[in-house]
Amino acid sequence: MERRGKALGYLRRVLVLAVLAFFAYTLVNKALDLTGFQLNIAKTGMFTGNLVVWVSYLALGLEGISIVLLLVKERWGVLFSLCMMLAFTAYIVVLQGLGRYEICGCGGILNGLPFAAHLAINLGLLAVLAFLLWGYGRGR
């Protein structure tokens, strides 16, 4: 039983590091191509003018907060990241429902993903974050 607990502890650590790496990767790529990121937001037609700029900075800020929280207050970071990913996933589902989803603009190798692939990645991240959050509730 103790062996299983150790294995779960290692798995949790690897998953948190993977989520951290993913968020850091997308944050850096969006920041390095901020104009492209803002253009992708503007293309949806959901936001215009200065709102595009504010939304882009909000998204970058949320990812940055997730990273910091995962590093210093892991449990809060997982909860915050789960909420953030729920919001991001709801956003792309709404875009798809309105016929405004074109391609993923999350940065790096994710850019250009069709909706199904983007949704699958988001759902995978949500599953990982839910698993991590569940582990905190079990006292691990």
CB atoms within 10 A of CB 64: 14
Q: What is the pLDDT of residues 17-59, one digit of tens each?
A: 999 999 999 999 999 999 999 999 999 999 999 999 999 999 9
Question: Coil, strand, or helix at residue 12?
Answer: helix
Which residues make Cβ contacts (< 8 Å) with residue 78, sequence separation at least 6?
Answer: 16, 19, 70, 129, 132, 133, 136
110 near 121, Cβ under 8 Å?
yes
Domain boundaries, the chain: 2-137
Q: What is the pLDDT of residues 87-114, one digit of tens each?
A: 999 999 999 999 999 888 888 888 889 9
The stretch 60-70 carries a mean pLDDT of: 98
Q: What is the DSSP letter of 113?
A: -
Which residues make Cβ contacts (< 8 Å) with residue 28, sequence separation at least 6?
Answer: 107
User: Is residue 103 exposed (0-12), middle (13-18) or buried (19+ Cβ within 10 Å)?
Assistant: middle
